Amino acid sequence: MGNGTMRYVYLRTCASMAGLLCLCLVVSLAVFLNLSNEPADAAAAPEAQAPDSVTLVVNKHRPLAADYVPPDLVDAGGLLLRAEAAAAYTGMVSAAAAEGIPISPVSGYRSSEEQSRLHSSYTERYGQEGADSLSARPGYSEHETGLAVDIGNPDGLCALETCFEGTAAGAWTAANAHRYGFLIRYPAGAEHITGYAYEPWHLRYVGPEVAGGVHDAGLTLEEFLGLPAAPDY
């Protein structure tokens, strides 16, 4: 084979390799651009949780399914809760009573329709922004899970007010609720994370292990589970 022929073959080989390299680069670039152009909402989509999990996080970024109804609601002494939460609640109330501290039920499970009426009443009184800091929109309320309970004093002292924390029932609950699987879901100073004003009367059942971890760490449920803050809708 002459030098000219060899040079020609060499140049053709180089050209083929360069073309293949360019093709690979084009494909890689196309894949990169496709991934980069995914909707922001998809990239920020909340991590899925089993809807019947007792650690299900419901907040302004994580609504319940539109047709969700808790599977095992039972009476918990004047209100409805899921069976596991109901047993824990009655145990907690009995333990407090044994120490001379009565705790009364205020609110447990609410249907979406009930939550809608409640939120609408808050909106009429406080406007949309005020209502959203005090009450969840329907579909976004922990009360719809059957795992949340509002408590109070039998005489109504400081009912649904922050001063509840200073009552015997409020102080006992803050110190002991985690032992029964409950946590104060909306603690003071965490409004930028939870999206709600401080509610020392609002308890959420998550089980003793998680409740104890949240209590001991001094975190919100979102922080403890590594979820993003949800200050607004």
Q: Which residues are catalytic?
A: 199
Which residues neighbour 173 within 8 Å (Cβ) at sequence distance 6 or greater?
96, 103, 151, 182, 184, 200, 203
| C-alpha–C-alpha distance, residues 168 and 139, integer Å | 33
CA nearest neighbour of 211 among 72, 60, 88, 46: 88
**Burial of 36 by CB count in 10 Å (0-12 exposed, 13-18 middle, 19+ buried)?**
exposed
Give the helix/strand (H/E) hosting 11. helix 3-36
Q: Residues 191, 231: contact at Cβ < 8 Å?
A: yes
Give the helix/strand (H/E) hosting 199. strand 199-205
| C-alpha–C-alpha distance, residues 216 and 183, integer Å | 11
Residue 141 one-letter amino acid: S
| C-alpha–C-alpha distance, residues 128 and 227, integer Å | 26
Torsion sign across C-alpha atoms 204, 209, 172, 221: negative
